[in-house]
A and B are shown apart, each in its own frame.
Chain A
Amino acid sequence: MSERKINLEVLRYDPDKDSEPRFQTYKAVPCQDDWVVLDALNYVKDNTDTTLSYRWSCHMAVCGSCGMMIDGEPTLSCKAFLKDYGDTIRVEPLYHFPIERDLVTVIDDFVEKLTKVKPFLIPKQPKSIEEGEYLQTPKQLKKFKQYTLCINCMLCYSACPQYGLIPDFLGPAALSLAHRYNIDSRDGGCQERMKVTATNIGVWECSFVGACSEVCPGHVDPASSLQQMKIASTVDWYKKRLMPWSKS
């Protein structure tokens, strides 16, 4: 296997010493052909600079913890093959989140928003354990399955200019997860979620830039769920006014 020398320009930030982040270049990092950016960072951490901080765990695009801006694009660093990049690669923490240290971001805002949309099953008809499980056909499962594949990697928030400009926006991943439950045949919590999701910090803040779906590593296509929620919210609005007697 051949070796290639890569320059890594990494945005560093030490909260104890730095007043603002600064770029540091690790020159001629010896990399193998089949490495990903995360491998190059690991090499630097193991051999050159032990102070470099970043998050990662699975190294297989499953845990969602290694998201970074790589050459300006929100990317999972464990999925970013060096062969697809030039000899100098710029690595920064994900946009739109405060920097905790180096490439580590603070994602508390997302976690807070996630709880707001009640991302759990609110049963249509609550059952006791003795009554058995909530059954579902393969067709009903397939309807929402795509939206269960989110790994909370935050690439969509980092790509979404609306979230960057309007921090109150609930954002793609949290809303997609709300949608995942709304269209689950066992769920009856749509109206409750709509109190938060069908507002101008919810789906109506989305202007369908579509960047979230372009960067999503799990092909969840968050933009699709938000557009579907807009349609549902519109139908609901008209229904309540034109057919006040109908239960939605």
Chain B
Amino acid sequence: MRNPYTREIPKYTWYLRQGRYVRYMAREVTSLFIGLHAFLLICGLGALSQGEVAYNEFLAVLESPFYVVFLIVALLFVIYHSIAWFNVTPQAMPVQVGEDFLPGGIIIGAHYGIWAVATIVVLFLAGVF
């Protein structure tokens, strides 16, 4: 007689079952910081639109130890996520040249190249050079 047995998946601890799930959850959880940082940037834009006084106030708030620590942590996670994303771009965006596909390393390398150029442009606009 058929009587198939269904195993339950532990709802809150499923990701402890395999190392790769833990790494995935780490990625998911740390992305919260990316979201919060993006929100902070929008607040900054909002302050900017309200004039110099409001913007300077916003900048002053960012200098508090809490925000300095937050920004450092967010920066580390942004770098981590950028690298993680670059590493999967060959899967999401394969490029076929002639019959063959471009080696993944070239696609990943191109992203790092664009990242470097964008960073230099931003630093230039910020008056660092």
Measured CB to CB, the residues of A under 8 A from B are: 13, 15-16, 18, 20-21, 72-73, 95-96, 98-100, 106, 138-139, 142-143, 161, 164-165, 207-211, 213-214, 221, 223-224, 227-228, 230-231
| Residues of B close to A161: CB separation below 8 A | 14-15, 21, 24
Residue of A18, A138, A209, A213 contacting most chain B CB atoms (<10 Å)? A209
Chain B, residue nearest A227 (CB): B92
Contact B96 A207 (CB under 8 A): no
Chain B, residue nearest A11 (CB): B7
With A16-B1, A99-B7, A142-B100 as contacts: A165 and B14 at CB distance below 8 Å: yes
| Residues of B close to A143: CB separation below 8 A | 96
Measured CB to CB, the residues of B under 8 A from A are: 1-7, 9, 11, 14-15, 17-18, 20-21, 24, 28, 88, 91-94, 96, 98-101
Chain A, residue nearest B17 (CB): A72
| Residues of A close to B21: CB separation below 8 A | 161, 209, 211
With A13-B5, A20-B5, A100-B4 as contacts: A224 and B20 at CB distance below 8 Å: no
Contact B5 A209 (CB under 8 A): no
B91 CB, min distance to chain A CBs, angstroms? 4
| Residues of A close to B14: CB separation below 8 A | 161, 164-165
Q: A211-B24, A230-B92 are known; give 4 further A-B pairs, CB within 8 A.
A: A15-B4, A99-B4, A139-B98, A221-B91
Chain A, residue nearest B11 (CB): A165
- Other-chain residue from A13, A72, A230 in contact with B18 (beta carbon distance below 8 A): A72
Complex Cα–Cα for A13 and B3 (A): 10
| Residues of B close to A208: CB separation below 8 A | 88
Chain A, residue nearest B96 (CB): A143
Contact A15 B9 (CB under 8 A): no
Complex Cα–Cα for A210 and B90 (A): 13
Complex Cα–Cα for A7 and B9 (A): 27
11 A–B pairs (Cβ distance < 8 Å), ordered by A: A15-B2, A15-B3, A15-B5, A16-B1, A100-B4, A165-B14, A211-B18, A211-B20, A211-B24, A224-B94, A231-B93
Contact B2 A100 (CB under 8 A): yes
B99 CB, min distance to chain A CBs, angstroms? 5
